[in-house]
Chains A and B, each alone.
Chain A
Amino acid sequence: MSAIDYGEKIPNNVNLSEDRTLQRALEQWQPRYLDWWDDMGPDGSRDLDVYLRTAVSVDPSGWAQFGYVKMPEYRWGIFLNPAEKDRKIHFGEHKGEDAWQDVPGEYRANLRRIIVTQGDTEPASVEQQRHLGRTAPSLYDLRNLFQVNVEEGRHLWAMVYLLHKYFGRDGREEGEALLERRSGQQDNPRILQAFNEETPDWLSFFMFTYFTDRDGKFQLCALAESSFDPLARTTRFMLTEEAHHMFVGESGVSRVIQRTCQVMRELKTDDPALLRAAGVIDLPTIQRYLNFHFSVTIDLFGADESSNAAIFYNTGLKGRFEEGKRDDDHQLKGVGYKVLQPRGNRLVEAEVPMLNALNEVLRDDYIRDSIAGVERWNKVIEKAGIAFRLRAPHKAFHRNIGSLAGVKVSPEGQVVSEGEWAAKVDQWLPSASDRVFVASLMGRVAEPGKFANWIAPPAMGINRQPVDFRYVRFN
């Protein structure tokens, strides 16, 4: 494993100094990146000392170094997991051949598109979350938000490195464009729709990090199988960081639930009005937020039948989740897969070639993983002795991509009329008044160890620090 040269402007373990052209290109990109961070990064955070984790190498001892950092001075670096000797391509038509250390000409356009699409989500989420620091429910949460932000920034670095290193001038232009698009902007939006939605409050943020960053995990896992070895090694390391983001989401929602249950028991009520008056988020509102984020996120996996997905797999660019752990022929010849399709007023399963349904395969893996976490939230409710269960909505609920787009389906999976949908949508998705209420709870709590009324403290601190540690210092 190569050591990181701290004398260099850009910490890396890819021997950047040996490739002068690349190094200069990245050194030119770096100030542009910092300008972007100043413009679009966390609002009002410039002079804060934040207790952050910085990767200084990819081995277990080096990649989680904790200390106070001012975020613009965070050392965004380039890290690849160690190379696996003689790695072979393990799926698709090139199965058995050596993994590629460079981009094959015929797959150049598709690989670039995959990398740009992944890369675009990273700065997008930083933009979506940039005002949340103003209303953090504790220093602990503020720190976690910033950790997520700097690591999304590092993930952008990881993708830009690949673009600069392997895609020449096209790649450099794409690197620029990644800094120019803006989440939610009309004339130059981010590529994927979920990344143009607002993240207006902390419940949305926790739901986003739970559901949408988990999409990130599954996409990265699929790319970590790639025949293009630098992409596989880069995404493997990104996954380690992504885990923190999902932790923020899972534990965040769990703490909101825990606090609500506590107040429900104290007041002996499940009346949302009384609970809202007591300053906590009632469980039905949490369910509606869950419905929204779940459904918006599963759209990210793309159309249920996609020839692109088939091509990406067949050519070895993008595998399935845990491709290496599956025992089939890894070429999927003649294998079928069931996808849901609307037929009149009901949903039916139709068998299609698995190769064309790979988006659906990944989506189903994602759904399984997501539901497991929802069940862990239910344990919190159960433990409080409250008879209420959160549920992930039906896969066809509130979909805007693929064959289910346009058909109105209830969270239970019943096709409903436009009229019924309109009548019930406020029971199923967060209404304007739900969002106003949740927003009304938001306000910064900046005293160490103190938490906003609507959220419980975490079970333990970061890096074995106590919960009342001063995770962020205001200067």
Chain B
Amino acid sequence: MDQPAASVIKQHLIDPEICIRCNTCESTCPVGAITHDSRNYVVDPDKCKACMACIPPCPTGSIDNWRTMPRARAYSVVEQLGWDALPPELSARQLTEAGEAAAAAAVRQSETSSQPAVAPGAETFSSAAFSAVVPPWSAAHPFTSLYGPKAAEASVTATVAGNVRVTEAGKDYDTHHIVLDFGTMPFPVLEGQSIGIIPPGTDDSGRPHHPRQYSLASPRNGERPGYNNVSLTVKRVLEDHQGSPVRGLASNYLCDLEVGDKVQVVGPFGTTFLMPNHPKSHIVMICTGTGSAPMRAMTEWRRRLRHSGKFEGGKLLLFFGARSKEELPYFGPLQSLPKDFIDINLAFSRIPGAPRRYVQDLIRTRAADVAPLLADPNAYFYVCGLKAMEEGVLLALRDVAEGAGLNWDAVAKALKRDGRLHLETY
């Protein structure tokens, strides 16, 4: 179900990192939608008519920023006044959830700074055109927002039950597998769902930090089967998307946790990026870096089902990209999975002396196996990782479809309508 058009707006925002606070926009605005405090200039979403009067006079270009947002969740003036950087565009999945679950209101997914400005005039690629807004028909029913600002409890306390590094030591790249235990507090989850972590303390303006969202890496019956715990895959953020150094607040907090520490959690979130549960359903997983978390969760659930001998699973096809194998989370455990259980394709983009390989290259190489799955109503596609991979992956899927004589437009429409293609990027 698409959101009704009126419930989603293109929200006008000012980039606080580029704005010089010259007041030109505020004095130009014919409807008084722009206001400021000693820190930021901001646009009131309830007043802005998108008349564009403020765009040409802005000397910096910081005025020309837009985010697709559910109207009910538009960034308020107060929220904007607290920003040091623009928030990233919500992913298609977040957008859907944000519209559905008001509790996600406080959740922002990425902790890094704003995205680079979109090139002028360039037609911007939108994953929202492709990503399903419904789960597979055989998905289990998820619980969402049991803890959060709109729930009875604002957060739930979890205890750290484990924290291990899952990439090779000694590299700059540092990824941790963190296990959180909820004790006796209800926290039912499904693979593909995420939770929010509230870093302790307050931001520069004295407000509590907003929660940071992480995908679960563990299946529904616990990181350890039968226990009320979940696991997360957390990469220590030491630079932003542009490569500028910045210490990610939440990721460094999480990576430095010790067993026994207490963590405040909100969630769970997510109603669409869920796995199919019917026999012989196939799963195609495409991911980079910590985007592997939900893939690990789904794979592990299928592995446990297979181990029980009571479930006839379909194919699992994994395309997994990282800079090198040392930086690939869970590299060791992946190697020990039986070949007839999961078909693993690894792409490394930074191996000295070897050409750069990306997941989309692997998808093209495996076109003969991917094409039948695109056409198979029992095959479900999941993409998770950096935003930059989205477009390349979709182009590769299109090429594979067209190479096999399929009509891509029809395939893409069916994938979206039937809840068979899910994109989750950041």
Bound: A240/B54 CA distance, A: 11
Asked if A244 meets B56 with Cβ closer than 8 Å, knowing A251-B20, A464-B120, the reply is: no
* B226 interface hit (Cβ, 8 Å): no
Which residues in window 118-156 of B have CB below 8 A to A?
Answer: 119-121
B 16-37 binary contact with A (CB < 8 Å = 1; else 0): 0110111110011000000000
Across-interface contacts of B56 in A (CB, < 8 A): 60-61, 63-64
* B60 interface hit (Cβ, 8 Å): yes
* A282 interface hit (Cβ, 8 Å): no
Asked if A247 meets B245 with Cβ closer than 8 Å, knowing A60-B54, A373-B20, the reply is: no
Beta-carbon contact of A385 and B245 below 8 Å: yes
* B334 interface hit (Cβ, 8 Å): no
Tell me the minimal C-beta distance from A77 to chain B in angstroms: 17
- Partner pick for B57 among A63, A251, A376, A461, CB 8 A cutoff: A63
Which chain A residue shows the least CB distance to B120? Answer: A464
Beta-carbon contact of A247 and B17 below 8 Å: no
- Partner pick for A60 among B18, B23, B52, B61, CB 8 A cutoff: B52
Tell me the minimal C-beta distance from A37 to chain B in angstroms: 23
Across-interface contacts of B247 in A (CB, < 8 A): 385
Bound: A244/B24 CA distance, A: 10
Across-interface contacts of A250 in B (CB, < 8 A): 20
- Partner pick for A460 among B22, B117, B246, CB 8 A cutoff: B117
Bound: A240/B57 CA distance, A: 7
Count B-side interface residues using an 8 Å CB cutoff. 31
Which residues in window 36-71 of B have CB below 8 A to A?
Answer: 38-39, 52-61, 64
B 147-167 binary contact with A (CB < 8 Å = 1; else 0): 000000000000000000000
Bound: A243/B57 CA distance, A: 9
* B335 interface hit (Cβ, 8 Å): no
Beta-carbon contact of A239 and B27 below 8 Å: yes
A 372-403 binary contact with B (CB < 8 Å = 1; else 0): 11001001000111000000000000000000
* A433 interface hit (Cβ, 8 Å): no
Q: Which residue of A372, A376, A384, A466 has the most chain B CB atoms within 10 A of its CB atom? A: A376
Across-interface contacts of A376 in B (CB, < 8 A): 20
- Partner pick for A465 among B18, B58, B60, B120, CB 8 A cutoff: B120
A 175-203 binary contact with B (CB < 8 Å = 1; else 0): 00000000000000000000000000000
Across-interface contacts of B55 in A (CB, < 8 A): 60
Across-interface contacts of B205 in A (CB, < 8 A): none
Count A-side interface residues using an 8 Å CB cutoff. 32
Bound: A181/B158 CA distance, A: 74
Bound: A115/B55 CA distance, A: 31
Which chain A residue shows the least CB distance to B57? Answer: A240
Across-interface contacts of B54 in A (CB, < 8 A): 60
Tell me the minimal C-beta distance from A208 to chain B in angstroms: 15
Across-interface contacts of A242 in B (CB, < 8 A): 22
Which residues in window 275-297 of A have CB below 8 A to B?
Answer: none
Across-interface contacts of B53 in A (CB, < 8 A): 60
Beta-carbon contact of B60 and A247 below 8 Å: yes
Across-interface contacts of A244 in B (CB, < 8 A): 59
| Majority secondary structure, A binding face | helix
* A459 interface hit (Cβ, 8 Å): yes
* B391 interface hit (Cβ, 8 Å): no
* A265 interface hit (Cβ, 8 Å): yes
Beta-carbon contact of B120 and A265 below 8 Å: no
Bound: A61/B20 CA distance, A: 22
* A246 interface hit (Cβ, 8 Å): yes
Which chain B residue shows the least CB distance to A379? Answer: B84
Across-interface contacts of B59 in A (CB, < 8 A): 243-244, 246-247
B 85-129 binary contact with A (CB < 8 Å = 1; else 0): 000000000000000000000000000000001011100000000
Bound: A464/B55 CA distance, A: 11
Bound: A251/B53 CA distance, A: 23
Beta-carbon contact of A60 and B117 below 8 Å: no
Beta-carbon contact of A64 and B18 below 8 Å: no
Which chain B residue shows the least CB distance to A322? Answer: B23
* B244 interface hit (Cβ, 8 Å): yes
Q: Which residue of A247, A373, A384 has the most chain B CB atoms within 10 A of its CB atom? A: A247
Tell me the minimal C-beta distance from A121 to chain B in angstroms: 18
B 72-91 binary contact with A (CB < 8 Å = 1; else 0): 00000000000010000000
Q: Which residue of B59, B84, B120, B244 has the most chain A CB atoms within 10 A of its CB atom? A: B59
Across-interface contacts of B23 in A (CB, < 8 A): 239, 243
Bound: A369/B39 CA distance, A: 10
Beta-carbon contact of B120 and A384 below 8 Å: no
Tell me the minimal C-beta distance from B86 to chain A in angstroms: 12
Beta-carbon contact of B120 and A466 below 8 Å: yes
Beta-carbon contact of B245 and A384 below 8 Å: yes
Beta-carbon contact of A459 and B18 below 8 Å: yes
Bound: A383/B16 CA distance, A: 14
B 239-283 binary contact with A (CB < 8 Å = 1; else 0): 000001111000000000000000000000000000000000000
Beta-carbon contact of B245 and A265 below 8 Å: yes
Which chain B residue shows the least CB distance to A62? Answer: B56
Asked if A383 meets B57 with Cβ closer than 8 Å, knowing A459-B17, A459-B117, the reply is: no
Beta-carbon contact of A383 and B245 below 8 Å: yes
Across-interface contacts of B246 in A (CB, < 8 A): 383, 385
Bound: A61/B55 CA distance, A: 9
Bound: A385/B247 CA distance, A: 8
Across-interface contacts of B38 in A (CB, < 8 A): 368, 372
Bound: A255/B397 CA distance, A: 41
- Partner pick for B22 among A246, A379, A385, A461, CB 8 A cutoff: A246
Which 8 A/B pairs are nearest by Cβ-Cβ distance?
Answer: A464-B120, A243-B22, A64-B56, A244-B59, A247-B59, A60-B53, A243-B24, A243-B59
18 A-B pairs within 8 Å (CB atoms) are namely A60-B28, A60-B52, A63-B56, A243-B20, A243-B24, A246-B20, A246-B59, A247-B59, A247-B60, A372-B38, A372-B39, A379-B84, A383-B244, A462-B61, A464-B120, A464-B121, A465-B120, A466-B120
Binding site for B on A (CB under 8 A): 60-61, 63-64, 217, 236, 239-240, 242-244, 246-247, 250-251, 265, 368-369, 372-373, 376, 379, 383-385, 459-462, 464-466
Could you list 12 further interchain pairs (A-B, Cβ under 8 angstroms) beyond the known A239-B24, A247-B22, A385-B245?
Answer: A61-B56, A63-B56, A63-B57, A239-B27, A240-B57, A243-B59, A246-B22, A247-B59, A384-B245, A385-B247, A459-B17, A462-B61
